[in-house]
Structure 1
Amino acid sequence: MESRLNFVAALFAVTPLMASAGDAPDAPASVVVVSATRAEHTSFDLPAAIDVVDADRIGAAQPRVNASEALAAVPGLVVQNRQNYAQDLQISSRGFGARSAFGVRGVRLIADGVPATMPDGQGQAATFDLDMAERIEVLRGPFSTLYGNHAGGVIQLFTRTPRGAPYVETKVAAGSDGMRKTDVNTGGKQGAIGWLLDGSRFETDGYRAHSAATRDQAYAKLTVDTSATGKLTITASGLRQDDTQDPLGVTWATYQRDPRAGEIDATDPQTPKRTLADRYDTRKSIHHQQIGLSWDGTFGADRLHVTVYGGNRSVIQYQSFSKGFQAPASHSGGVVDFDRNFHGFDANWLMVRPLGDGVLRTTLGLEAGKSSDARKGYENFVGTTFGVKGRLRRDEDDDVRNVDPYVQMEWERGPWVFTGGLRHSRVSFDVADHYLSNGNDSGSVDYRHTTPLLGALYKVTPTLNVYASAARGFETPTLNEVFYSGTGGGFNYHLGAATNTQLEAGAKAMVGRDVRVNAALFRVRTRDELVVDSSSGGRTSYRNASATLRQGLELSADADLHAGFSARVAATLLRAIYDEAFTGVAEGNRLPGVPRTSLFGELAWKDADGRLQAALETIASGEIHPDDANAAVPAPGYAIVNARVQANQALGVWRVREYARVNNVFDRTYVGSVIVGDSNKRYYEPAPGRNWVLGASVQYQF
């Protein structure tokens, strides 16, 4: 590791020389972002690691089903498609969130200002409407802590701003394993009113056995210019997945035998024996809908932003169990059934004032949210028939609330930019247990934490900025992580929050006119890390472990190679270990779910008019351990190559596009993701071999 860090130090040392070489422009081209400061700011002048994935990359010959399609190009971020639409994507940022067995935790998700992460820290990336996405901002490192609990990183999606003449568009796509998607959308702006409407259906038979899914999504956006300086935005969205099949993980032996196969249930009395997924008919149904309202107004140099939102999410999930399972009193059965209502708001005021010889920007804000679950659990068998709703085993109401005041200040003077921030978070869990035959698990627990941030950026030249930042962050257990204590116990109110200290140093440079380089060194030390205690049959309990240490490097480069060619490289080197031993885990063991290295590379070409485009992509990852003890076979490292081509035509009022994509061109066999800490050692979730997608869209503009 020391030699690698010496290499990084050398890179930082030569960057100023590189930036001053050649005929450099007066100022580097840079995109505008809002995630780091909650106000428009050029990313080049922020002391933070932040990347923007624009609409071109989101729709780069992709069906726009999973955020993993677009986010692979972001350093520091690992986004794995589990090939399991019942459990959502696996997303981690600098190692935060890697242990999540389903959904997203450790990383904050936001869409058009509305959180896709609940107050406890659990989020769902499937709610993102990628068809309407204009850009995705990915914030990492100390600055992300100003978003509070579970903000090891922030992924924020922004949909299109309605503008121009009305249009209507239809998109279709088809591909391997019975993949089909149809999308219809319309939008435009007339006078002070703009609108977007979108509806889509996605279907797949699934790459893995028992992994078919159907997803219906709808999205609407209405904007109203309330005055010359004020704007009202209303968004509404819905997602529906009925009986989405869950293929479960498999053992190493099963993966080697057949990556597409499910795990055989050795206790099945039938001949031939069925897989666990087939015998228990493991599946999940999700109905999610939400609405958000935001208002932005400017008052001279000052600005007020207010967002309020609310929604509902209902889930029924059928899980699997081992032979002869008769649920003990402390278990809740194999069917999860909950109905969740959630709501919240975020209001902040930005003030801009002269101070000394510089400018001071101060943001004062208050964020609050609440989710309320009416949760039941049932046995997933009746008699000898599995996969059906049986006796009631759980009945409770779960409430989680957060209240977070925050302040952020930025003072810019000459070549210096100084940033400071403070956020105080209170997260409360309340459980009212109505199923008392196994004892009363009612109770509550509060978590409180203050997250400070300091950062500084120095503009060495117009084409080189260097920066450093530091912060403290925290992660409470999610609601699902306090459900069980050990092997079969009830609620675990004794779980503590994990706290972390983050340090980052970086450089942002333009090399000549055509190359932009971002580099960041980071160090994260965490106390009371939450780790898997036991995981079996869909039930996972957690405990607080010792300290962990994550040290790494992120490097990205974008280059215009002329003659229509361009290139992008995004590389991450991450040493993530347990810094102290604890029961069954040695000091120096690698954190599960976190690859040591990851790489994205792309060589793209387009003609002068942009009518024809083509690209080759490389995605590579180091090996991944699935358990804390590092005793199981790690998922081997891999490298795959993808190819895409796209054509565009403008025919009067018509816009037509066609594309083709081949993923995993050389048909590599590899594990796409792992289920951390599974007690049955069914850790592995295989990825597809060679697969293809064909798509087309037609737009008519009135």
Structure 2
Amino acid sequence: MNINKKSRVIKASITVSLIVSGMPSLAADTEGDKGSDPVDTISVTASRIARGTKEVPAAISVIDSKRIDAEQMNNIKDAIRGTPGVLIESKNGGYDSRLIIRGAGQKANYGVREIMVIRDGVPMTDPDSFSRFDFIDTQDIERIEITKGPGSLYGSGSSGGTIQIISKSVFDVDGNRVKVGIGEDGKENLHFRYSQELNDSNSILLTGSHRAADNSWREWNKFDTQQLSLKHGLMLDSGATLETELSYSQADMQLPGSLTESEFETYRSTGEQRNTSSQWQHSGRYSTIWFFNTRYEQEYGDLTFKPRFYFNSWDHYHPVTGAINDNPGTNVFGTDLEFAYKHNLLGASTLVGGVTARLDKTDEAKKYQYADISTVVYDPPGPTPPVNQIVSTLSDRSGSLLSQENAANTLFGLFLQETVRPTDKLTIDAGFRFDRMNFDIEEIAYGEYDWGTKSYTTFGAPVTTKTDTTFDLFSPKLGATYALNNTYSVYGMVAQSGQVPSEAEIQSNASLEAALATNVEIGLKARAREWSVDLSLYRTTVTDEIVSVLQSGNQSEFQNAGETLKKGFELSSRVALGRYFWLGANYAYSDYKYVDYQELVRTGATLNSVDRSGNQTPFVPNHQYSLSLDYDHPSGFKARIQADTWGSYYMDSANTEKYDGYDFLTSLMLGYESGPHQVSLNVDNLFDKRYATEVKKDTSGVKTYSAGSPRSAMLNYTYSF
């Protein structure tokens, strides 16, 4: 095949795949095979090979380009919210997200844990399971694939599931655009995308974005991000493709303090958050990131080889509770050597396998005291002399050095999965991952923040702590999908995945064990021309689950729970209403209980074991549902309205009190497209509900609230060329 023809074929295949992934899962007649002409969405995340979601024995949600284009996309939450079994919120509306899938990730006070997050096949999740979104350009996303629970071949050390963010392809040279947006609370959005086919073999893509907001309804809540990316695509005479990306991101974000119950009531009546009594008024994260990724794909007959190499270097200034983290630079080196082999084993089969290696190296990361603080004299009981107790921070300027740390986190992984098709209707997946993770940490501490006295303590001599811990995780999976007819299929799967503690958790509790989640799941999937349905029932048993205990004074400590049982039901559906309307309905029922859990409650310097067995896990509601209505008219008018409900949940593991959650939190998009011009108006929290994104109660009974954003509108204009 000559290069010109090959280029046209590749471009055509990309176009088709984007159309398929962007089409709603439309509907068919009720007679199944007779004229139903089903349309399915393609996914690559669960099995590392492109397959229709109907053929994958797992619960998968795909957020397509049409849905993404209908959102503001200041935060990945804009696209993911409403997905059954997935809970996502943001304290800032910038790049921060707290993400929970089927209960995994709720131990994190900030960010994402226990969930593997990938961008174009490159893990954004550190070996200790922390995921960063600061270098993701949310304006350059083609689709998002969510695989829930254990079982993904990408999911090293992550029990909650896998999220893959797929950016726009360098070979798609028809999507050039400039986008400008302005909104309330100082929101700004500027994005450009320019691609060019240099010749029959070479394509380039340049993207840039600026996003910012003052979030003036509350104090200390600004964010500002800049991103620039250059991609290059090369098609070789051998039929191979080589895609390379180099990007730079600068991301600054302020994280507001929490509210007391009375302060939350003030917010509910005024819509503003001012002069709170939070001790830590100036948390935030300010980072810069260089990111490099190159991936090669070559077919040798029935064998396809897909090696990938990546490097990123990031630094951050990160004021948090009790200290200011100042990391001058972490270097991340990684490779993923993957192959796919088509052969015959009880029918057409594919063997996917490979190895993964990664090193995260940090030198001379430091923790500092807050330099500017308001204090009162506190006289502790007993012989301890009076101290200057911190009432609140006055700035995020760093003061005296508390500690210095060098760390190396390494990951080596092996994955293998055989997919066999004994008949046209039956597909079986059998595979596993094995991952070895090592944490080598050395810390020299000169002082610390004392949670009991709420003050800084300086040691008489430096204290050196060394941690060298290795975890071996084995994650097998067996799943099968059976097509009942051209419309319906059923699936069943059993999968297991381990979950390692984070670096900070290991340092605070060296006895922590890796958690082990075992999931049994069955489901039904239907794809037709004018409707689609996904239904799943699962039962997940987690042994040694790593849980967070919120002690008195807002101190989080971590321990293993003996056993947790998570049972759930998820439903996702979409149906055409006439020619131009699409109705979507999603629902998740979650029943998560501690089977065996002795919570260690701190009273002064004493830890007391309190039995929480039989209690519900906090924060995750029993009921979560979402309704949406899309309108798309050939004249160019389009609209989307979505209402999300987050049911009531317990505030603590003791199950002493519930928060009501929120009902029908509504977002609206109105748009018009004519030729290269497109205008859209996005309104979040349309009815200006005053709600909390999270309510927690510590072991002494003190409640803290995180306020949700009031109504906010943004106007966007896009010119495509």
TM-score (norm 1): 0.87
Q: Distance in 2 between the 1:188 and 1:676 partners?
A: 55
CA-to-partner distance for each residue in 1:271-309, whole Å, 9 max, x for gaps? xxxx6455xx33331112211111011122321111111
Q: Distance in 2 between the 1:66 and 1:173 partners?
A: 14
Task: Please point out which of 629, 633, 640 is paired with 2:654.
Answer: 629
CA-to-partner distance for each residue in 1:21-74, whole Å, 9 max, x for gaps? 3774365211221111111111111111112111111110x2221111111242
Distance 1:24 1:686, change over 3 A: farther
Counterpart of 1:463, as a letter, is T
Q: Distance in 1 between the 2:496 and 2:653 partners?
A: 25
How big is the shift at 1:475?
0.6
How big is the shift at 1:251?
2.2
Do 1:142 and 1:503's aligned partners in 2 also have CA atoms closer than 8 Å? no
Match of 2:235 in 1: 225
Name the SS of the counterpart of 2:464 in structure 1. Answer: coil
Task: Please point out which of 97, 107, 110 is paired with 2:105.
Answer: 97
Q: Note the 1:507-546 alignment, pairs <5 A.
A: 507-510=524-527, 513-534=529-550, 540-546=556-562
Task: Tell me if 1:300 matches 2:301.
Answer: yes
Name the SS of the counterpart of 2:659 in structure 1. Answer: coil
CA-to-partner distance for each residue in 1:420-450, whole Å, 9 max, x for gaps? 0111111111012344734221121111121
How big is the shift at 1:699?
2.3
Counterpart of 1:595, as a letter, is P
Q: Distance in 2 between the 1:471 and 1:506 partners?
A: 14
Q: Distance in 2 between the 1:196 and 1:676 partners?
A: 49
Match of 1:350 in 2: 340
Match of 1:403 in 2: 412
Task: Tell me if 1:56 matches 2:82.
Answer: no
How big is the shift at 1:503?
0.7
How big is the shift at 1:173?
1.1
Name the SS of the counterpart of 2:562 in structure 1. Answer: coil
Task: Tell me if 1:699 matches 2:720.
Answer: yes
Match of 1:591 in 2: 617
Moved more, 373-382 or 139-148: 139-148
Distance 1:246 1:314, change over 3 A: same
Distance 1:211 1:218, change over 3 A: same
Do 1:84 and 1:246's aligned partners in 2 also have CA atoms closer than 8 Å? no
Match of 2:379 in 1: none
Do 2:259 and 2:276's aligned partners in 1 also have CA atoms closer than 8 Å? no
Task: Please point out which of 571, 592, 596 is paired with 1:555.
Answer: 571
How big is the shift at 1:620?
0.9
Task: Tell me if 1:669 matches 2:690.
Answer: yes
Q: Note the 1:405-444 alignment, pairs <5 A.
A: 405-414=414-423, 415-435=425-445, 437-444=461-468
Task: Tell me if 1:367 matches 2:356.
Answer: yes
Match of 2:226 in 1: 216
CA-to-partner distance for each residue in 1:60-99, whole Å, 9 max, x for gaps? 0x2221111111242221111223648x101111111122
Match of 1:648 in 2: 673
Match of 2:520 in 1: 503
Do 1:500 and 1:527's aligned partners in 2 also have CA atoms closer than 8 Å? yes
Counterpart of 2:349, as a letter, is L
Match of 2:387 in 1: none
Q: Distance in 2 between the 1:645 and 1:679 partners?
A: 47
Structure 2: stretches of 5+ with no match in the other structure: 1-27, 375-392, 447-460, 600-609
Match of 2:511 in 1: 494
Do 1:263 and 1:276's aligned partners in 2 also have CA atoms closer than 8 Å? no
Counterpart of 1:567, as a letter, is L
Q: Distance in 1 between the 2:55 and 2:575 partners?
A: 20
Q: Distance in 1 between the 2:699 and 2:156 partners?
A: 29
Q: Distance in 1 between the 2:36 and 2:297 partners?
A: 33
How big is the shift at 1:261?
5.2
Distance 1:453 1:23, change over 3 A: closer
How big is the shift at 1:226?
2.0
Q: Distance in 2 between the 1:699 and 1:464 partners?
A: 39
Distance 1:213 1:676, change over 3 A: farther
Distance 1:364 1:695, change over 3 A: same
Do 1:146 and 1:451's aligned partners in 2 also have CA atoms closer than 8 Å? no
Counterpart of 1:694, as a letter, is L
Match of 1:288 in 2: 289
Counterpart of 2:255, as a letter, is D
Task: Tell me if 1:471 matches 2:491.
Answer: no
Do 1:359 and 1:413's aligned partners in 2 also have CA atoms closer than 8 Å? yes
Q: How many residues align?
A: 645
How big is the shift at 1:143?
2.3
Do 2:582 and 2:629's aligned partners in 1 also have CA atoms closer than 8 Å? yes
How big is the shift at 1:416?
1.2
Structure 1: stretches of 5+ with no match in the other structure: 1-17, 267-274, 322-332, 485-491
Counterpart of 1:626, as a letter, is M
Task: Tell me if 1:582 matches 2:603.
Answer: no
Match of 1:327 in 2: none
Task: Please point out which of 36, 43, 49 is paired with 2:46.
Answer: 36
Name the SS of the counterpart of 1:483 in structure 2. Answer: helix
How big is the shift at 1:679?
7.8
Match of 1:481 in 2: 505
TM-score (norm 2): 0.85
Task: Please point out which of 158, 169, 190 is paired with 1:182.
Answer: 190
How big is the shift at 1:633?
4.9
Task: Tell me if 1:240 matches 2:246.
Answer: no
CA-to-partner distance for each residue in 1:98-149, whole Å, 9 max, x for gaps? 2211111111111111111111110013332221211111111342366220
Distance 1:291 1:48, change over 3 A: same
Q: Specify which structure has the higher proportion of strand.
A: 2
Counterpart of 2:294, as a letter, is L
Distance 1:290 1:37, change over 3 A: same
Distance 1:382 1:557, change over 3 A: closer
Name the SS of the counterpart of 1:494 in structure 2. Answer: coil
Do 1:222 and 1:233's aligned partners in 2 also have CA atoms closer than 8 Å? yes
Distance 1:164 1:251, change over 3 A: closer
Name the SS of the counterpart of 1:628 in structure 2. Answer: coil
Match of 1:658 in 2: 679
Counterpart of 1:347, as a letter, is L
Do 1:311 and 1:343's aligned partners in 2 also have CA atoms closer than 8 Å? yes
CA-to-partner distance for each residue in 1:559-608, whole Å, 9 max, x for gaps? 12222111111211111121224133522322123122211211111113
Q: Distance in 2 between the 1:538 and 1:504 partners?
A: 37
Q: Distance in 2 between the 1:299 and 1:315 partners?
A: 44
Name the SS of the counterpart of 2:118 in structure 1. Answer: strand
Q: Distance in 1 between the 2:699 and 2:121 partners?
A: 35
Distance 1:82 1:506, change over 3 A: same
Q: Distance in 2 between the 1:27 and 1:697 partners?
A: 34
